[in-house]
Amino acid sequence: MSKSSDLYDRGLKVMPGGCSRNTILKKPHPLYVEKGEGCYVTDIEGVERVDFANNMCSLIHGHAHPAITEAVTAQLAKGTAFTIGTEAEVLYAEHIVNRSDSFEKMRFVNSGTEAVMSCLKAARAYTGRSKIAKAEGAYHGLYDYAEVSQTSKPENWGDADSPSSVPVAYGTPQAALDDVVIIPFNDTERAMKILDENAEDLACVVLDLLPHRIGLIPANEDFVRAVYNWTRKNDSLLVFDEVITYRMNYGGAQQWFEGINPDLTAMGKMIGGGFPVGALAGRADVMDVMNPLTEKVLFPHSGTFSANPITMTAGRVAMDLFDQEALVKINILADYARKSIREAINIADVPACFTGAGSMFRIHMKSEEPTSYRDGYVNHREKNLTKTLLNHLFDDGIMMINTCSGVLSTVMGEKEIDRLSEAVLGGLNKMKNQF
C-alpha cells in the first residue's frame, strides 16, 4: 500500500474510474501530486520528475511561476467572480487581439472545447449553413460535431477518397455524423474533391496546424493554402484550432502561413496561465453574431465563469512573459531536444522516429515519419512499444504526454533536455529485442 494507492481506492468509490480525467490513469493506480515548481513535479511519495507534459501543453512557464502567483494572489483578495465586468477582461482582450493579424474582436470562454464549439456555432450563425468539415483524426474537444472521426480505425474509417464520419461516444446522433464532412489531412487533391461535393452546405472548415492526435504532424503549406482559397471561393469560413498551437509563434501557428488569415481562431490551454480558459477571436463581422447590442442576435452567448478575473489576470501575466525573446528561446531549446532525440534513436539503432515543431515533439515507434492520420495510426504492436517507453521514462524521472509527446516550458534548459535524451536512449536500448 502507498499514499497514492489509498487515494485511488477512495476515488474509485466516488468517481467513474476513480478520476475526472482519464489521462491521469496508470496501472496499478495513478500517482498524486504534492507540488510543482518550475519544470519539476513532486508526487506524494516524494519522487521528483521533470515535467514534459505541462498539464497537456497548458503550462508555458511551468509550475507556480512567481510573477503569475503574485498577480493571482493579489486578485484573490479582491474576489474571484462577479456579475459585473472587470478591467482584467478588457486588459487581456486588448493584449490578445494585438498578438495576431487575424484578430479584430474576441471573447473568452472556459475551455478549448468550448472555444471550438463557439467557433462552429458562430460559423453556422454567420453563414446560415449547418455542416462543418474537419481533418480525419484531429482532436477538437468534446463537442459532438468536433470529435467525429478523431478515433477512427482501419476497420471503420472507410475509403481514403471518402472517409467515414465515425462517432467517438456511443449514442452520438446520426444527425451529428451526417453534418460532419471528413477530409484527409495533408492530402490536397482528395480534400478539395470532398469539399467541392459539399460546397453548398459547409459553414466552415476547421483545421489544427499541428494536430497532436493525428501525429503532431505539421500541416503542409499547399494543403492549408488550398483549403483557405476554397473557403474564399465558396463563402465558407476557415477556423483554426490553436488551442495547443498558439505557443508556436508570438501570434500562433497561423504565422507560419503568410497571407492566410482564418476567419475565426479557437484558443485555450496556455493562455490561461495555469487556470481553465478558452477564447475565440477573428473577423469583427463574424464575431458580431454574438453581439447582444445588435437588433437580431444570431448566436446568444454567455458563461458564468467566462472571463473571470483570476484567469484573466493569470493569463495576461503569462502571455506578457511569453514575448518574442521567450518564444525564440523555447523554440531553439526544442530544436535541441529534437536533435538529441534523433541522436538517441540513431545510437539505439531501432525503427523509431519523431515529429513536431515549435516547442513540441512526439516519438513514434515507426521507421518513417508519418504525414497523415492513416500513416501515423498506432497499431497494437506500436501501442505496446510506446507504453513500454513511457513507463521507462516515468520510472527514470520523466513525465510525458501519454502519446509519447513532449512539450517544453520556458523554465527548462539544456540540463533537462540532456536528462530526457539519456532516458530515451536507455529506454530504447532496453527495448531493442521488442521491435
Strand arrangement of the beta sheet that strand 405-407 belongs to: 353-357, 360-364, 405-407
Cα–Cα separations (whole angstroms), residue 99 to 103, 247, 252, 383: 8, 12, 8, 39
Identify whether 250 is a catalytic site residue: no
Identify whether 269 is a catalytic site residue: yes
Q: Which of 241, 246, 263, 373 is catalytic?
A: 241
Distance from C-alpha of 140 to C-alpha of 1, rounded to nearest angstrom: 38
Distance from C-alpha of 106 to C-alpha of 94, rounded to nearest angstrom: 9
Contacts of 263 (CB under 8 A, 6+ apart): 102, 123, 204, 231, 237, 238, 239, 282, 283, 286
Distance from C-alpha of 310 to C-alpha of 308, rounded to nearest angstrom: 6
Q: Which of 144, 269, 366, 373 is catalytic?
A: 269
Bridge-based pairing of strands 202-207 and 131-135 is: parallel
Cα–Cα separations (whole angstroms), residue 379 to 154, 382, 383: 10, 5, 6
Q: Angle of helix 221-233 relative to helix 188-197, nearest 10 degrees?
A: 20
Q: Which of 139, 145, 246, 373 is catalytic?
A: 139
Residue 340 and residue 421 in contact, taking contact as beta carbons nearer than 8 Å: yes
Specify whether the backbone of 219 is left (phi greater than 0), alpha (psi in -120 to 50) or beta. Answer: beta
Residue 209 and residue 245 in contact, taking contact as beta carbons nearer than 8 Å: yes
The three-class DSSP label of residue 417 is helix
Identify whether 139 is a catalytic site residue: yes
Q: Angle of helix 324-348 relative to helix 414-431, nearest 10 degrees?
A: 20
The three-class DSSP label of residue 125 is helix
Using the structure block, give the residue that is written with the C-alpha cell 524521472.
397
The residues carrying an active-site annotation are 139, 241, 269
